[in-house]
Amino acid sequence: MSKGKVLVLGSNATRIETKGGYWGDTGQYLNETVVPAMALVDAGYEVVLATPDGTPPTIDRASDAAAHFGGDVAAYERAKDFYANDPSMKARTLRSILEEGLDHYVGLHIPGGQAPIVDLMQDQEIGEILRHFHERSKPTAMLCHGPISAVAAMPFAREFRAALIAGDPDKAREWAKGWQYAGYQMTVFSKTEEKVIEDTILHAQIYFDMPFALNLAGGIVSTTPVDFDPFVVEDRELITGQNPRSDHPIAKALIAALDRKHVAA
């Protein structure tokens, strides 16, 4: 018998705005999506993937490699097979999840890759889902760039994002008032880690870095002194992981939080 349903929120973005008016290819990271999902299934939870338009996320080509699975080719192949063939990875629309009712879900996970910067952080349905989980203190995990999705819970998420792109932090701070996660300890993909991606993969600069945006909104952001070291922060119901190498640690933390809730129930 399932211990309950865990919602995985994916992005449909395939391009991201970069400085100079260009667009770069983007997507969602394979390991950040699949490692926690597989761990949840193994722990007895049912996983449901949902995206804004109901199609599975595009996997970022930079993540489609055994290197993101510790060089373990067998683990990489299992992950690819799980993503391609497991029923839990057949996406549904966010609207269908809301119409079903969020009371059916005990936890939430939002993977990264740069894609959430484009759509999830300003999606009104994501905001509705996050407010439900926040108000009911349900375990809410966000990994790498995933924590920027927390912005969607703001009353004026789209305006906040637009102000960041316009380079107007004062206006962004005004739009962020009333953010549900203000005052929470959290982590996210660091500025120096982002520069590695910009320099070696994207070959362009994005408009804002994640710690700057979340600090501006009222989050209390910490990151590791060494890039790409695993790091997870827990504060109340929110569980955040800094980078792709935090995939196993965040899965462990999320499952522990879910199990505590399950036992208490």
Model pLDDT for residues 139-155, shown as the tens digit of each residue: 999 999 999 999 999 99
User: Among the CATH numbers 3.40.50.880, 3.40.1350.10, 3.40.228.10, 2.60.120.620, which is that of 5-264?
Assistant: 3.40.50.880
CA–CA separation, 81 and 168 (whole Å): 44
pLDDT confidence tier of residue 105, bands split at 50, 70 and 90: very high
* Average pLDDT value over all residues in the chain: 97
pLDDT confidence tier of residue 21, bands split at 50, 70 and 90: confident
Measured over the CA atoms of residue 73, residue 11, residue 54 and residue 43, the dihedral's sign is positive
Interacting residues of 233 by C-beta distance below 8 A, sequence separation 6+: 185, 186, 187, 222, 239, 240, 241
Contact indicator for 188, 148 with CB cutoff of 8 Å: yes
The whole-number average pLDDT for the span 183-195 is 98
> Per-residue pLDDT for 201 more than 90?
yes
Model confidence pLDDT, tens digit, residues 39-88: 999 999 999 999 999 999 999 999 999 999 999 999 999 999 999 999 99
The whole-number average pLDDT for the span 6-22 is 96
pLDDT confidence tier of residue 265, bands split at 50, 70 and 90: confident
